[in-house]
Structure 1
């Protein structure tokens, strides 16, 4: 457990009228965080295990709240390098963020970008094999919304899902504050959102509790250093 309580509050990158240049800069910062602090590694680690346990001729993956589609691009590249047929649908509900994602994913035929609300995914039951959500679950405050997002991911993914997020702790918060005062000091959106994201994030025990409440089969929260946690579930239908 942690003595750092979970905080509520709005992140600036979620504002519908956020300046496009600042939002683009914040999304670039998030790509750097995913690259250097384990975001890509965590998703690919657990996806590889799921694929190995559930071999298929091809796979469909849904990425919820995709940001600039960097996770889908990494997943698609990982699959191609191993001869795995995998189509990734990257979704978001922020218009400007969707524009950024479309530009980033335009050259990859295995990644398609679509608008979608994580609380009401516009897809049929079992439309995908896996559902992924990276560094986005903490953007929801209300427990009902958190359970709704997890429930929607489970509904559309017939094999399983991965929630990859920050792990709330005092060291993580200190690290985010340090980045805000140095590398992000000229990036107002990231400097504000980075430390707040840590305060809004979850401990493994909290994710395990949410998974039980959402009825996710075989769910378990995995700690990843330095400051990541992954909630993974599988229960093929």
Structure 2
């Protein structure tokens, strides 16, 4: 058990009326977090393992709550460098974030940005090979919503999926507070949301419990340093 209890509370980047310029700065800050604190590395590591066990020349991938679509762009480039193709649908339900993602991904033909609610994905069962959700599961507070999101990811993914998120701990919280007071101090959305995101995030044991409750097949939780955790599931056969 952790001595840092999970907190509830709304993050400013989720507010429908958020200032576009401030939200854009926060999305860029999140790109930096993904680059320097393991977000890209975690997704590509586990996706590479899934691809190795299910080889084919082309895959369909869903990225839920995509933010700026930075992870889909990394995935698409990574796949092309290995002679395979991943056609990625990057989704979000915040209109300003969607506009940002569409502009950011406009130069990559393998990434398409669409509006979608993580609680009610508008796709058929098994419509994708893989489903990915990065640094977004912690935005949901109610256990019923958390299980619904995981259930929707499971439903639309034919092979498996990856949930990549922050790992809640006191060191992670201290680090986020330090960033908020220094690099993010002029970015009010990030300065507010960064520490709160850590407080809303999960421990490995909590993610394992959610995976079992959501009946994710062959699910495993992986710790990644310094402050990341990945929930990976995979259908047999």
TM-score by shorter chain over 0.5: yes
1:61 aligns with 2:61: yes
For residues 32-52 of structure 1, what are the alpha-carbon distances to aligned partners after superposition, in whole Å with 9 as ceiling and x for unaligned? 000000000000000000000
Could you tell me how far apart the structure 1 residues matched to 2:86 and 2:63 are? 13
For residues 5-40 of structure 1, what are the alpha-carbon distances to aligned partners after superposition, in whole Å with 9 as ceiling and x for unaligned? 000000000000000000000000000000000000
| Structure-1 residue corresponding to 2:22 | 22
Could you tell me how far apart the structure 1 residues matched to 2:35 and 2:103 are? 19
Question: What is the CA RMSD across the aligned residues, in angstroms?
Answer: 0.7
Q: How does 1:174-193 map to 2 (within 5 A)?
A: 174-193=174-193
- Contact 1:219/1:231 (8 A) holds in 2: yes
| Structure-2 residue corresponding to 1:140 | 140
- Contact 1:128/1:157 (8 A) holds in 2: yes
SS in 1 for 2:83: coil
SS in 2 for 1:184: coil
| Structure-2 residue corresponding to 1:43 | 43
Could you tell me how far apart the structure 1 residues matched to 2:180 and 2:215 are? 37
SS in 1 for 2:184: coil
Q: How does 1:52-91 map to 2 (within 5 A)?
A: 52-91=52-91
TM-score by length of 2: 0.99
- Contact 1:158/1:236 (8 A) holds in 2: no
1:214 aligns with 2:214: yes
| Structure-2 residue corresponding to 1:108 | 108
Q: How does 1:154-173 map to 2 (within 5 A)?
A: 154-173=154-173
Could you tell me how far apart the structure 2 residues matched to 1:186 and 1:167 are? 25
Could you tell me how far apart the structure 2 residues matched to 1:236 and 1:58 are? 20
Number of residues paired by the alignment? 237
TM-score by length of 1: 0.99
SS in 2 for 1:215: coil
Could you tell me how far apart the structure 2 residues matched to 1:221 and 1:203 are? 10
Task: Using the TM superposition, give the Cα deviation of residue 177 of structure 1 relative to its aligned residue in structure 2, in angstroms.
Answer: 0.2
SS in 1 for 2:28: helix
SS in 1 for 2:33: helix
| Structure-2 residue corresponding to 1:224 | 224
Task: Using the TM superposition, give the Cα deviation of residue 2 of structure 1 relative to its aligned residue in structure 2, in angstroms.
Answer: 1.1
SS in 2 for 1:129: strand
SS in 2 for 1:66: coil
- Contact 1:12/1:192 (8 A) holds in 2: yes
- Contact 1:173/1:195 (8 A) holds in 2: yes
Task: Using the TM superposition, give the Cα deviation of residue 236 of structure 1 relative to its aligned residue in structure 2, in angstroms.
Answer: 4.6
Could you tell me how far apart the structure 2 residues matched to 1:103 and 1:61 are? 20
Task: Using the TM superposition, give the Cα deviation of residue 57 of structure 1 relative to its aligned residue in structure 2, in angstroms.
Answer: 2.7
